[in-house]
Chain A
Amino acid sequence: MPRAEFVHWLFASGLLALGLFLLAEAIVGTDVWRARTWRAYLWPSTLFAMGLFMWPVMVFFTNSTIHMVAHGSWAEVMMLAGAVELGLVTGKLQSGLWRLAMFASFVVTGVAFLAHEQNPWFFQRSAFLHHLLGWTFLCASLFPLARVVRPRSAMVASGFALTFIAVAVMLYCDRDVSPVFGHLSPLAGAPHR
């Protein structure tokens, strides 16, 4: 069975790709980005696929109920947000209010991060990152909320994209047992590479 950090790094890579796609869309504008059909579907389907891949993580790689619930909620909201964005791209969903699904996903993700971390910030690195990721998602939920009213704003789109890249970097920093800024609780166990 892989350590949690391997799974986190794989998802970090998916989020990095997602962030690059979104940043490219923010730079060139939605019209140019959607000029080729496959590209229009690229980031929503990546998000949906990541939600799908979160299910086996929830089933096989979580070691407590609260971890299972948190990973299950991420799987659900990633699939929901991805599916809604796919619906908007295809035109099957017309109302811009459907973009609220992404806002809801950010809020649920942030709350799940904060709720499933039982230890304080400086217990060890993963605890620190869980708190940081949780608050990042909650604060950055302003971007998907702003997308509902300003879907074509380059600034909002850039902030939205950079959030995914920042989250990817945080997940790449994750280790199973490792110090954070010199702090490592003796209760956390022995650090490894």
Chain B
Amino acid sequence: MNTQLATEVHTRARRSARVYVLSLLGPITGACGIAWALLQPYRVTLLHPHGQGLWWLLVEPPVIAVLVGLLFHFLVVPGLVEDVEEHA
């Protein structure tokens, strides 16, 4: 096998592995938030907002964890993937 081709294949595989891991970070974070919400649904006060105080309505950690994962996935990852492809 041509060693130049082997190097190219190796580089491409490493690049796609990076892109794959990168695209998983946001969904994994979101999935952790969803799992938390399922395990402790009383922390998601949006499901039953009556009688809840301001802070319980404002700060719902499972929802915030999902939001962080989503924002990262949709705002940071796409441009980063483009740049990884460009720099390869």
* A28 pairs with B84, CB closer than 8 A: yes
Q: Report the minimum CB–CB distance from A9 to chain B (whole Å).
A: 4
- Measured in the bound complex, the distance between the Cα atoms of B86 and A32 in whole Å is 9
* A20 pairs with B83, CB closer than 8 A: no
Which of chain A's residues have a CB closer than 8 A to the CB of B37?
Answer: none
B18 CB contact (under 8 Å) in A17, A27, A31: A27
- Measured in the bound complex, the distance between the Cα atoms of B68 and A193 in whole Å is 24
- Measured in the bound complex, the distance between the Cα atoms of B59 and A24 in whole Å is 26
Q: Report the minimum CB–CB distance from A154 to chain B (whole Å).
A: 10
* B83 pairs with A36, CB closer than 8 A: yes
Q: Report the minimum CB–CB distance from B66 to chain A (whole Å).
A: 11
Chain B 51-86, CB-CB to A under 8 Å as 1, else 0, gives: 000010011010011001101100011011001101
Taking A20-B68, A32-B87 as contacts, is the C-beta distance between A10 and B80 under 8 angstroms?
no
- Measured in the bound complex, the distance between the Cα atoms of B65 and A10 in whole Å is 10
Whether B31 is near chain A, meaning CB under 8 Å from some CB there, is: no
Whether B25 is near chain A, meaning CB under 8 Å from some CB there, is: yes
Taking A13-B65, A20-B68, A36-B79 as contacts, is the C-beta distance between A6 and B55 under 8 angstroms?
yes
Instruction: Give the B-binding residues of A (Cβ under 8 A).
Output: 2-3, 6, 9-10, 12-13, 16-17, 20-21, 23-24, 27-28, 31-33, 35-36, 39, 42, 172, 193
